[in-house]
A = this chain, B = another copy of it.
Amino acid sequence: MKIAVLPGDGIGTEIVAEALRVLETLDLSFETESALVGGAAYEAHGHPLPESTLKLAKEADAVLFGAVGDWKYDKLERSLRPEQAILGLRKNLGLFANFRPAICYEQLVGASSLKPELISGLDILIIRELTGDIYFGQPRGRRTASDGHFPGAEEAFDTMRYSRPEIERIAHVAFQAARKRSKRVTSVDKANVLETFQLWKDVVTEVGKEYPDVELDHMYVDNAAMQLVKAPKKFDVVVTGNMFGDILSDEAAMLTGSIGMLPSASLNASNQGLYEPSHGSAPDIAGKGVANPLATILSAAMMLRFSLNQAEAADRIESAVKHVLAQGLRTADIWSEGTTKVGTREMGDAVVAAI
């Protein structure tokens, strides 16, 4: 088994280092190989996703990813900016199924913006399609408008699109995930306005017939954005497209108040996956040793479960994380009165010790 380790920028190196230490503690047999990605790769090789990094990621069974990005790259042309690395990896590895759990840990209920009774016990799984939609649709670019409100003016455009098999495969992922949980799927669309999401709704409904034991409902994206705030616990598995999933998964993550705790997995058809924390590269605190490594450590657990067939080891990591929370250890982002503030390394130490 081979893991490609891509720490990236900002706090990426620090948090990935802790996840690796946790993995090593488990005494499993796997090989790791590191490479640069994002801004770090741009500095060294002139491109955020160098050929060698992509090759390594493709050959590995799984990719453990830190984070990419820094304000200082904002002025670069789009194709050279750090976030192109993550889009390039998704596309080239065919990572179409993104799992974004939004879980509220009991000890961290107070960190949420929401009233405790609304958020306590929250456990949503957002499944976001990750290789289609307006993220990758062609054509896109700039041109002179030939119609619309201002014919002759400069305009920019993008293409939203989904094909039937793309929707089918992500729908199957969602229904299968729901079978292992509370057997409910909410499909989020905008079928009242968009042709793409009318097809989405039609196909998800069809696929749903193969899962008569799973309850399916449909919700417009604007309503979903509201219901997540109003009554988040009503959701269980949510499946949606790439663009709406980007927005809703971040909204749901922030509802928990502890985005520093939330892992994510992006899988392709052969269960090869990329695992990364749900949060970003936080350049403002990079190198200070204060970042929360738990989302990355939990991403490593997802990696063991989904791509490396080591569910038991994954369980051990997840229990260890619960244990350190119960011990009252907190990094700055989740710290509150009465708990013990620790740094990145100490948090890693505590998880290692708990294992």
Contact = CB atoms under 8 A, between A and B. Distances in A.
A59 to B, nearest CB: 21
A82 B198 CA distance: 16
A169 to B, nearest CB: 9
Contact of A140 (B145, B195, B222, B227): B195
Given A140-B195, A226-B253, A250-B222, A154 B163 contact: yes
Interface in A73-96: 78, 81, 83, 87, 94, 96
Contacts of A165: 149-150, 153
Interface string A235-272: 00000000110111111011101010000000000000
A303 B194 CA distance: 30
A199 B142 contact: yes
Contacts of A81: 192
Interface residues of A, number: 72
Given A154-B163, A247-B247, A230 B113 contact: yes
A84 to B, nearest CB: 9
A231 B113 CA distance: 8
A195 B83 contact: no
A148 B164 contact: no
A81, A115, A225: residue with the most chain B Cβ atoms closer than 10 Å: A225
Interface stretch (A26-34, A130-138, A173-181, A291-299): A130-138
B230 A247 contact: no
A160 B162 contact: no
Interface in A271-326: none
Contacts of A140: 194-195
A251 B142 CA distance: 31
A160 B160 contact: yes
A146 to B, nearest CB: 10
A249 B164 CA distance: 31
A21 B102 CA distance: 46
A196 interface: yes
A157, A158, A231: residue with the most chain B Cβ atoms closer than 10 Å: A158
A194 B148 contact: no
7 contacts: A81-B192, A96-B149, A138-B148, A155-B163, A156-B195, A158-B159, A230-B254
